[in-house]
Amino acid sequence: MSQPETEHPVNLMQKPRIEKVVLNISVGQSGEPLQRAARVLEGLTGQTPSNRLAKRSIRDWGIHRGEPIACLVTLRNEAAKDFLKKAFDAIGNRLPRSSFDLNGNFAFGISKHIDLPGVRYDPDLGIVGMDVSVAMGKLGYRVKKRRIARARVGKKQKLTREEAVEHVREAFGIEILGD
């Protein structure tokens, strides 16, 4: 008598996951345009954005070192997944394979924030584009990056590009271009 084949249980430590989603709007100048961009991010996410400062002065563009020129918001857990669903709809549920790096992280841009589902045009805010950066990983990989009691992790804990592509394809139904 042969034994029935049993499926191996899924090892949760080997399952890819979304660690965080960072939304960045860079306007290149402080003042009213930066405040409008911050209101757009706050309206989209419900979180208060933080300002980012210029690293160096660029005289031709009128940017001074230390001047706030961008704002960003970091989303985690369910808020990150919910926003990603909307963001993928805005770009047509297609993502090029070149958007993924060797560690499985990926990034893409949204040219107009009003392309996101459920967002209406507000003449006071105007139209802004944004960068969406997604950091992916596996449970336990944090051991390598943490500050206290840092330790090595095995090769199986490192997320690869192919694992990340497959996870995004299955979880969000995204078509990956360049396969």
* Residue 21 amino acid letter: V
Residues facing residue 156 across a β-bridge? none
Does the global pTM surpass 0.85? no
CB atoms near residue 8 (< 10 Å): 6
pLDDT digit string (tens) for the chain, length 179 residues: 566 666 767 788 888 999 999 999 888 777 888 888 888 888 888 899 988 888 888 888 777 888 888 899 999 999 999 999 989 988 888 999 999 999 889 999 988 888 788 888 877 778 888 899 999 988 888 888 889 998 888 888 888 999 999 999 999 888 888 76
* Number of domains the chain contains: 1
Cβ atoms of 151 and 143 within 8 Å: the answer is: yes
Cβ atoms of 84 and 134 within 8 Å: the answer is: yes
Q: Is residue 9 part of a domain?
A: no
Q: Is residue 73 part of a domain?
A: yes
**What pLDDT is stored for residue 14 in this prediction?**
84
**What pLDDT is stored for residue 81 in this prediction?**
92
Q: Is residue 6 part of a domain?
A: no
SS3 22: strand
CATH of the domain at 51: 3.30.1440.10
Length of the chain: 179
Domain range spanning residue 164?
Answer: 16-177
SS3 81: helix
